[in-house]
Amino acid sequence: MTWRFPRDTVVGMTTPAQPSQFPDPRKRSRTGPGERELAGTASDARERAGTGSGTGAPRRRAVGLPAVGLPAAAVLLAAAFFLAPPLLVPGGFGDFPHGFLTYWSSGRRAFSPGLQHLVDRQFHDHLVRVLIAVPLLAVLVALAKRFRRFRLLSGALALVAAALLIENVQGVVSPFGTLLPLLAPGLAKPDRVALLAQVRDQLGHGQVSPALRVMLDEYVRWHMVKAVLCGLLAGALLGLSVAVWRRRHRWYCLLTALSAAAALVVVAANVTTVADPDPGLLSLLQGDW
């Protein structure tokens, strides 16, 4: 009888060697730290390109926002500057000459109710425009700073916005003074001639009525505010002129210097008017101003 042993127990028979779970130290990768960093960077780049969740896409969108947002904001604010005040402060000022004659003949300093209503309306109208002109000026300055191709146009529009801002700040500070130019075209010729004669007589003899004193005070305040604000504008333009000169932008330097000189001329004219307001007020009532 012959004994048969299982195949795996036969002497000399071995099972095939299983691959070891532990790598041979001699066969480890010899990749250096620098190569591993490059591989990791390339892998991250592939992941961002595949998923689109990297920081590149939002950054491109952020760069494109000002190119659309700033011009759109400038257009909307410019439209609001001219359209919003009539909607928010409805009504006209055609009754001002008649209300002024009633106030002039009253001999009192306080405004009549009808005239006070017109003055309040003028104040609110200019206040709305100031609140719109301030961000409009800021947006135009940002446009001039960001887009070099349209810097000259944006700078010119910023100067216009600054002039509009100054004019409306004057209206907020002296609303009655900004209504005085309506007297010359609004009064009938006999009324205008009589008013001018009385104003000349009072200014010549030094006996000023309460109504004329209010007119002079408002007229002086109106020009004083303009002188101060134009002086600030001239200082800003001079500083900008020096800055662009250092960057060797001669053309921009010349334009800003000329604008600053024009602002200084306006300052000098208004300071002269404040020092001697009588001739200017008479010219205003005659319609020559």
pLDDT in tens, 174-218: 999 999 999 999 999 999 999 999 999 999 888 899 999 999 999
By residue range, what is the domain housing residue 178? Answer: 69-286
> Is 41 within the bounds of a domain?
no
Reference 85, options 117, 116, 131; nearest CA is 131
For residue 69, pLDDT over 50 is answered with yes
Q: Report if residue 31 sits inside a domain.
A: no
Classify 255 in phi/psi space as left (phi over 0), alpha (psi -120 to 50) or beta.
alpha
Residue 114 is assigned to a structural domain of this protein: yes
Residue 54 forms part of a structural domain: no
- Mean of the per-residue pLDDT values of the chain: 82
Q: Which among 143-152, 168-177, 244-253 has the top mean pLDDT?
A: 168-177
Query: How many structural domains compose the chain?
Result: 1
165: in domain:
yes
Q: Measure the N-to-C terminal CA separation of the chain; round to a whole number of Å.
A: 143
Least confident of 48-57, 155-164, 239-248: 48-57
Share of the chain above pLDDT 70, in %: 76
Evaluate if residue 12 carries a pLDDT over 50: no
* pLDDT for the residue 135: 97
Asked whether residue 184 is assigned to any structural domain, the reply reads yes
44 within some domain: no
Q: Tell me, yes or no, whether 279 lies in a domain.
A: yes
